Structure 1
Amino acid sequence: MRSLNEREVRERNIDVLKTAISSIGTGNSEIFSSLYTEDWVLELPYSEPPKVLTGINEILTYLKPQMGKLEFTLTLTEIFECLDPNLLIAEYFSEGKSTITNKPYQNTYIGLWRFREGKICGVKEYLNPLIATEANTPSGE
């Protein structure tokens, strides 16, 4: 089997990124097994406290209680290719609402996405976590 050249690796990774972005916020946790490696790392440096989660089990344990509190779609606005074909930098934004308060949820993100053999193996995501907190806080609290 022929190995992919750098351009083909980048294109494959961009396709995986687009699929991942379109599925986040839908509550479909099944997507993780097909797009992400078992040992993928999720870094959330702006969460309080900052988090580094390793492995699909630890990440899903963290994410599952939050799934369903916000319904949103993510839209990619820019993808930046790097010298390393297995690293992409992406800008995207969310559009949705809190299922708790019905308040709007709109956030902007910058993510460093790492890939290995056509799957996501690392995400370092920068977003404002206070926007989600505000969306889920009932008015007057």
Structure 2
Amino acid sequence: MSVHTAPADLFRHGLQLLLDKNIPAWVDLWAEDGQMEFPFAPDGWPKRLADKEAIAAYMRPYPDHIDLHDFPDVTIHQTTDSETIVVEMRGVGRLVQTDSPFDMTYIAVVTVRDGRFAFYRDYWNPLAVSEPGTDFVSSSR
């Protein structure tokens, strides 16, 4: 991605990499000092990932837990800050361990700096994937 990549384009590209299960390429979209926050994280889950290395460690096992099939609903809102977008989206797929359906609605506030993700506040509900018999909650923190 070039330094002139619009935040919405970078975000859409990142979604495709997640669907392709290409976590290393998705992590490469991040600034070295990029940060992720999870305001609704329950006890025992990270509330903040402080840099690209922490984000990579957090995301590395993601495809082992959630098999994403599609993002059927993605709405990207521009803000008064040209580097920040607000995204409403829905991800669907299956939970790998139980083969149960996965259907999650997200809202994210994303800031891009120099063509890389610099800040990503992820408003998703981790309890929605903590069904009995799944190990996602204990394995992905």
Provide TM-score, normalisation by structure 2: 0.81
Deviations along 1:33-92, one digit per CA (max 9) or x if unpaired, are: 431111110001111135111111112222223431110133442111001000000001
- Which position in structure 2 is the counterpart of 1:55? 51
What are structure 2's unaligned runs of at least 5 residues?
136-141
Is 2:115 aligned against 1:121? no
Is 2:131 aligned against 1:134? yes
- Which position in structure 2 is the counterpart of 1:94? 91
Change (3 A) 1:65 1:125: same
Which shows bigger deviation, 96-105 or 29-38?
29-38
Matched position secondary structure for 2:131 = helix
Return the offset for 1:100.
0.4
Question: Quick one: which of 101, 111, 136 aligns to 1:104?
Answer: 101
Q: CA RMSD in A?
A: 2.3
Question: Quick one: which of 85, 93, 112 aligns to 2:82?
Answer: 85
Return the offset for 1:25.
5.1
Give the Cα separation in 2 of the matches to 1:89 and 1:136. 33
Q: How many residues align?
A: 130
Letter in 1 for 2:114: E
Written as runs of structure 1 = structure 2, the 5 A alignment for 1:28-43 is: 28-43=22-37
Give the Cα separation in 2 of the matches to 1:108 and 1:70. 14
What are structure 1's unaligned runs of at least 5 residues?
none
Calculate percent identity across the aligned residue pairs: 23
Provide TM-score, normalisation by structure 1: 0.81
> Between Structure 1 and Structure 2, whose CA radius of gyration is higher?
1
- Whether the aligned pair in 2 keeps the contact of 1:98 and 1:105 (CA below 8 Å) is yes
